[in-house]
Amino acid sequence: MNKRTSMLFTIAAVAVMGATLFGSTYTQTQIAGQSLDASKLDVDVMEQIHQMGGLQLVMPQAFAETDCGALESSGRTVVEFNLEGYSVELPIMGGKTFNAMTFSGQVPGPTLRVTQGDVVKMTLSIPDWEVTGHGNDMHASQISAGAFESVNPGETSQYCYIAESAGVFKYHCSGVKLVGMDQHVLSGMYGIAIVDPANGYKKLMVEKTSGSGQLDRQFYDADALEFQLQYNQMYLTPEGNYDAGAMFQHHNTATVVNGMQFGYVPNMAHNLLVNGDTGKNIFVAQPWNGLEHKQYQSQLLFVENGQHVRLFVENHGNEPLFFHIVGEILDRVTQGNRVQSAATETWLLGGSQNMIVDLVFDEPGVYAAVNHDYAAIYTGAATIFVAGDPFGLNPVLVDKGVIEAPVASYAYALGNPSDAVPPMGSNSIAHPAINIHGLYTDDVASEMQENGMIPLWEVIPVVAEMLS
């Protein structure tokens, strides 16, 4: 890079920062009635952007390949990824709602799963009744979101790219030509693309010791039971609007996993099974306890003992994620199809960073996956895995006719929550059953029900009757 080019890049970078700050202030004033202190911004930077004719003229455009026609006839597998961008009201912990922005009526947006080398054909449509335009920056591509610009209400736009690198990749709304990007992403417009390695996943090696102190390495097949966990923060006013002032000061008001605070903790049915009483909580915080929460009622993540489990983890937030599972060791941490660590207690993810965690739960028990930042744990980042049958429920469930024979995990009776289960890939073990759970609109939830997923809020009363 010669000197002149490098100077241009520096100016462009400063200009992006300036414009993003300015843009956020502008949309905030429009939508939430909030504003930042504009006098604190660097006036010279704004003047520079103005003189340069705005960002579009200065930014060098990065395009890996966007000609859909050429890519579609390239012989590669083409995977269509259709998204709709729109705003809706969704619930938050405590019985209130917030002004959410979504990809296709859910937070996080739908997960895309492809194999390394596939062509992704992304189409974003915005309904004509939507109040603002939206964009989509997919980190699995090597395309500039600035070049894609944004899609206006009533319009549709698309781009194509080759998913060249394996791993987990964030995608997120890029606002209206980058304006308001912070608001759109932190109000819910984020999701992931999982790009499976062209040659599949690797088998898992877990190091153990025998009684004589000898190393006894155990190997697990590459096929695994998979979950997705996406971390973020929310910055809301008491009225449920995005609070840019709070965001700039890093004062978040909630920590969410797959869009919800404490979305994977016990509910009334688990209270009944373990304590014999729907009102007798078995976890310290159960904000989504009752049937009235329907698709938002908290659910648990069920795994078998001795089973290879694979977690796709993304940190969408502004704060670091210290990923730790209480009572477990992360047997393997992979980023970008390269192993980063093995047998580690906690792994750090910065903002917009991801990893794949492979592990085996050896003992029956209840394990909490947390962000080991105490502020995050107590504001929502505690996710409960239940391995095997730690409560000894098999005889009771068989006796009462809930299940025919003892099961290796409660997923065979209750299923695993749909928003934590990614689409099937090349080395996926199918979940025994999937229940409808997630920060979905009622429309999205009823469509899932029509497609055969289990609405537990209808099943639980039947099970409770059988147990009584």
Residues binding Cu ion (CB under 5 A)? 134, 173, 184, 189
**369 vs 67: CA distance, rounded Å:** 42
Residue placing its CB nearer to Cu ion in the complex, 153 or 336: 153
Q: How far is the CB of 174 from Cu ion (least distance, A)?
A: 7
List 369's β-bridge partners, or say none. Answer: 325, 383
Q: How far is the CB of 464 from Cu ion (least distance, A)?
A: 42
- Residue 25 CB: number of other CB atoms within 10 A? 21
Q: What is the DSSP letter of 326?
A: T
Residue placing its CB nearer to Cu ion in the complex, 242 or 262: 242
**153 vs 338: CA distance, rounded Å:** 41
Q: How far is the CB of 287 from Cu ion (least distance, A)?
A: 28
Residue placing its CB nearer to Cu ion in the complex, 171 or 440: 171
Q: Give ∠ CA 337-341-346 in degrees, rounded to 5.
A: 120
Q: How far is the CB of 289 from Cu ion (least distance, A)?
A: 33
Rounded to 10°, the helix 268-275/456-467 angle is 20
Residue placing its CB nearer to Cu ion in the complex, 153 or 320: 153
- Give the up-direction half-sphere exposure of residue 391: CA atoms within 13 A in the CB hemisphere: 16
3-state SS of 157-222 is EEEEEECCCCEEEEEECCCECCECHHHHHHCCCEEEEEEECCCCCCCEEEEEECCCCCEEEEEECC
Q: Give ∠ CA 42-43-49 in degrees, rounded to 5.
A: 100
Residue placing its CB nearer to Cu ion in the complex, 138 or 303: 138
Q: How far is the CB of 104 from Cu ion (least distance, A)?
A: 12
* Residue type at 433 in one-letter notation: A
| Nearest to 331, CA basis, from 350, 315, 309, 301 | 309
Q: What is the DSSP letter of 133?
A: -
Residue placing its CB nearer to Cu ion in the complex, 185 or 414: 185
Q: How far is the CB of 93 from Cu ion (least distance, A)?
A: 24
Q: How far is the CB of 85 from Cu ion (least distance, A)?
A: 6
* Integer Rg of the chain from CA: 23
Q: How far is the CB of 140 from Cu ion (least distance, A)?
A: 18
Asked if residue 259 lies in contact with residue 267, where contact means CB atoms within 8 angstroms, the answer is no
Residue placing its CB nearer to Cu ion in the complex, 134 or 308: 134
Residue placing its CB nearer to Cu ion in the complex, 181 or 300: 181
